Amino acid sequence: MEEANSLIRAGVDILNITDTPTLVARCRKVGEMIEATSNYLNVRDQRHSASSAYTWHFIDSQKVDGPGIDRDEFHAQPVISKVSAISFAAEFGNVYVHSVEVFDASGKATAFTLDRLIEENYPRYTICYLFFPTVVQKVVMHYQARGGSVRTPRLAVFAGVARQEEYLKQALWYLSCARREADLAARNPESAAPHVEAACQNLRHAAGRLVRFQVKRTM
């Protein structure tokens, strides 16, 4: 983890070098560093994340009508605070989930493309992780029944509240933002300055989240 943090901070130093002719090459190099660091953190995060690390709150259950793709809204009544994950459970048949939209209290949506089968009566292993704790007001599902069940399948949706803050997911979010800004700077050298600064700021945020993760692990 210390190596990942050092790599992130090195990325800030590389971007801050005052040398216009090497700007594009430096941005691309930092992009490669971000990708390598993100791959490592993704592995660590997958090992760290588990459904048992969350308290799960039932949101709603709906019938999956057909034929074709059904769209349903699952409303949290009341809204659920500090949600970091959404999971699903199917009964009376298998359900194929195409996509999910999670709406916060302001109506802003976070979209996930799943394209995954939720098997009947199977444990909640299919989970959409949010980068930051969110107040969830509703979840919109695009899904359809699969498997020729005699009964109409139902899908239940749950909101997961993490018992500890998800610093690795937050670091990954900031790294993705930094990568996007570095790519924009490389593609637009004439107007690169604000993108370089935004990339550096996001890298600093990512490094800060890794420090918090390390501190949490030692407590």
- Let me know: does 38 contact 5? Beta carbons within 8 Å: no
In the chain, where the domains are located = 2-48+167-218, 53-162
Distant-in-sequence, close-in-space partners of 78: CB < 8 Å, separation ≥ 6: none
Residue 201: Cβ within 10 Å count? 15
- Residue that wins the pLDDT comparison between 67 and 110: 110
According to CATH, what is the number of the domain 53-162? Answer: 2.60.120.1090
pLDDT at 213 over 90: no
pLDDT at 48 over 70: no
Least confident interval from 53-57, 75-79, 140-144, 175-179:
53-57
- For 2-48+167-218, CATH number out of 1.10.260, 1.20.120, 1.10.1140, 2.60.40 equals 1.20.120
